[in-house]
Chain A
Amino acid sequence: MSHAVTIPKLGLTMEEATLVEWHVQDGERVEKGQTLLTIETEKIMFDVEAEASGWLQRVAAVDSLLKVGDLAAHLHEAPGHHAPSASLDQAPPSAPAQAPMPGAAAPADTRLHAASLTTTTAGERLLASPVARRLAHERGIALHQLKGSGPGGVILKRDIPTASVKPPAEGLSVAAVATQRRPLTPMRRAISQRMMHSLSSTAQMTGFGRIDMAAVTAWRATLLAHESGLGVRITFTDLVLKVCACALLDIPEINAYIEGDEVVQLGEVNIGLAVSVDGGLLVPVLKQVDRLSLVDICQARKALVDKARASRLTREDLEGGSFTLSNFGSYGGDFETPILNSPQSALLGIGRITDEPVVREGQIVIRPMMMMSLTFDHRLIDGALAGRFRARVRDLLEQPALMAATLR
């Protein structure tokens, strides 16, 4: 049972009042007779006192115009309908210190079973994990204000901010957006560690090139026209993967890396493909691309991308790469300075294909142009070698017939 705090009739003609100020925090304990809020009528300012003791749940906001008898707040018999302000003041430094001892969990935490913790204000059941509920409770955070990131929208531990969310300052008509903090997901942590490791352990440099993709476009068009016969829809990425594999066979010094005091020359041409997934990035590896047909490459690529998106990649799928391809064009990029996929020594990024004016034989013509960005480890690969590799890639892309010369 709770006690309703309503706007009192202060005079015979009084019909309404403005709520000017709250004197008690939401969720705070109130004693009978304590001043709760101040209202202003046409004539006077008046302090409304609590007619009972209990825990306050504010309903009306400051500056709202209320009629006599309107509900301003509830006074509840038990805490927990809103976060008790006591924990807001304490500002716990870290979660583990607040964790109840296992044996003591049962009696101390029974108040978490209060129905209102599990329901939204509309009375639906809120889905939140046990640890999320406990932390929300300890940090004074209302669960229904949070969005769950778990399966089915469950609120998980990572959704609970480490510091309590400050309510918007009183009196502002437009609520300011509060700063929020949340812990790193394991995938994000892994990516950040890998990136820092890569940058700090290699001497990375990026060289760029511009490629006329007319021949490739025509090549692809031919393949698309025969899609039903081939059984697959070959993409630009598939073609570039094959070209990279040929170039790596031609210039094998790129297919190597430094480990300690040795250069490890890899026998296989295994190319990783950067795949964007929910929450981050994965780089599954196509094995022995030099020995795969375009159809094989297309099928292998699709299988790996599907697995990556379904979180079903195996250990083998992620290991053994000697080179990586990243397609920024897929998100509208032109050229970038990609970060190497350690321990590899080179990574090729390709951008969008866009029609651009270029000069051919003294004339300005429109050609489908694409930028390539080759990041390489300068400890192993000098600028000249990198340039030769880019040139080889460009030659093969602009004149794909050259690949037939070494076709077996």
Chain B
Amino acid sequence: MTSKTYCWAIIDAMREEMERDTNVFLIGEDVAAAGGAFGASRGLHKAFGPLRVRDTPISEEVIVGLGVGAAMTGKRPIVEIMFMDFFGLCLDQIVNQAAKMHYLYQGMFKMPLVIRTSVATEMGIGPHHSQSLEAWVGHVPGLKVVMPSTPRDAKGLLKSAIRDDNPVIFIEHLALHKLKEEIDDDEDLLIPLGKADIKRPGRDLTVVATGLMVGKALQAAQTLAGEGIEMEVIDPRTISPLDMDTLVASVIRTNRAMVVSSAHKPFGFSSEVAAELQERAFFHLDCPVRRLTPPFTPQPFGKGFEKFLHPDVDSIIKAAREMLR
């Protein structure tokens, strides 16, 4: 067992998969010589050479496009789009091309493409580097979307994503890069996509949290335990396909649900979960499903603004207490 950071878990996942299968390669801006804009591909260029780890021009559409074409012709590309905020520049290749090749052509082509990208909410970088846009891609049939919150989850899910024959959008959170966890060195760690994880069991309230919100929900749960309130914290890990079975089973036990998300409520992930829960677990709900999200504004520059705008541990505690009145 070794203590690994979230960032190193991602590097390890890519390295292990590239060693295992020569068809796996990585392209993106600054991924090779610099080891990644955020250091998430350190050592790979040296280990695998300039063809398999390659720096691209600043051309998001063709970065994804190259991935699409290579995936259709027998390779397993990993392409990196530096910030998810940049998806507007390459949505056609993701939504109209990657997502639909297998479907349109009746399975003649597989699309084993992984698009790794980063979300930087609450880091005060500014309005073009602070959005959590999983709803954009979660809404497109044919894509899979993954959002790990821990190092072990990141490693296991990335390895599975690389081995998946479908296009997977792999969303990393920059603020989680330094998070550490013990990971077994020997294990060929594969965490299945589409399976949620109960990070903390509880009987009074189901809290569905993703990405950066998972840690906050766990801290809130610890405090509330002191008051006798036992929160069950579930991390879906995969946004699409969403493991609603686990969430519904939990709400049947607890009768109350809250979704905590970095993304806006309107048309967002939290709304999807709330709609599914009310449809599938209506007769088990003791109060409405609560969605805890930032208000519907862009993110201005600066940590002061971001702290105000985003749900934190205390707001989760407050909401939980209100729901249990």
Contact = CB atoms under 8 A, between A and B. Distances in A.
Question: Touch between A and B in complex, CB under 8 Å?
Answer: yes
Interface of A: 96, 99-100, 102-103, 105, 109, 112, 129-134, 150-151, 154, 156-157, 185-191, 193, 282, 311-312, 314-315, 318-319
A315 B325 contact: no
Given A99-B252, A191-B228, A193-B228, A315 B223 contact: yes
A102 B287 contact: no
Report the 3 A-B pairs with minimum CB-CB distance, sorted nearest first.
Answer: A190-B228, A315-B223, A134-B283
Contact of A130 (B222, B284, B321, B325): B284
Given A131-B284, A150-B325, A186-B204, A314 B317 contact: yes
B229 interface: yes
B252 A189 contact: no
Main secondary structure of the interface of A (DSSP, over half): helix
A100 B317 CA distance: 31
A163 to B, nearest CB: 19
Contacts of A190: 226-229
Given A157-B255, A312-B318, A318-B226, A186 B286 contact: no
B283 A186 contact: no
A129 B248 contact: no
B228 A315 contact: no
Interface of B: 204, 222-223, 226-230, 248-249, 252-253, 255, 280-287, 313-314, 317-318, 321-322, 324-325
Contact of B285 (A130, A187, A188): A130
Contacts of A133: 283
Contacts of A96: 252-253
A156 B286 contact: yes
B227 A130 contact: no
Nearest to A279: B325
Contacts of A282: 227
17 contacts: A103-B280, A131-B285, A150-B325, A151-B325, A157-B286, A186-B324, A187-B227, A189-B228, A190-B229, A191-B228, A311-B321, A311-B322, A314-B317, A315-B223, A315-B226, A318-B223, A318-B227
A91 to B, nearest CB: 21
A112 B226 contact: no
B318 A129 contact: no
Contact of A131 (B226, B283, B321): B283
Contacts of A105: 280-283
Contacts of B281: 102, 105
A99 B281 CA distance: 10
Q: Is the interface of B mostly helix, strand, loop or mixed?
A: helix
Nearest to B249: A102
Nearest to A132: B286
A186 B255 contact: no
B228 A187 contact: yes
A205 B286 CA distance: 43
Contacts of A150: 286-287, 325
Contacts of B226: 190, 315, 318-319
Given A151-B325, A311-B325, A314-B314, A112 B283 contact: yes
Contacts of B322: 311
Given A186-B204, A311-B322, A314-B317, A109 B283 contact: yes
A154 B287 CA distance: 9
B217 to A, nearest CB: 14
A112 B282 CA distance: 12
A96 B321 CA distance: 24
A186 B284 contact: no
Nearest to B245: A102
Contacts of B249: 102
Contacts of A157: 255, 286
A133 B285 CA distance: 10
A151 B324 CA distance: 10
Most buried by A among B253, B284, B285, B314: B284
Given A150-B325, A312-B318, A315-B317, A130 B283 contact: yes
Given A105-B282, A311-B321, A311-B325, A186 B230 contact: yes
Nearest to B288: A129
Nearest to B227: A190
A102 B204 contact: no
Give the residue among A186, A311, A312 with the most B Cβ atoms within 10 A. A186
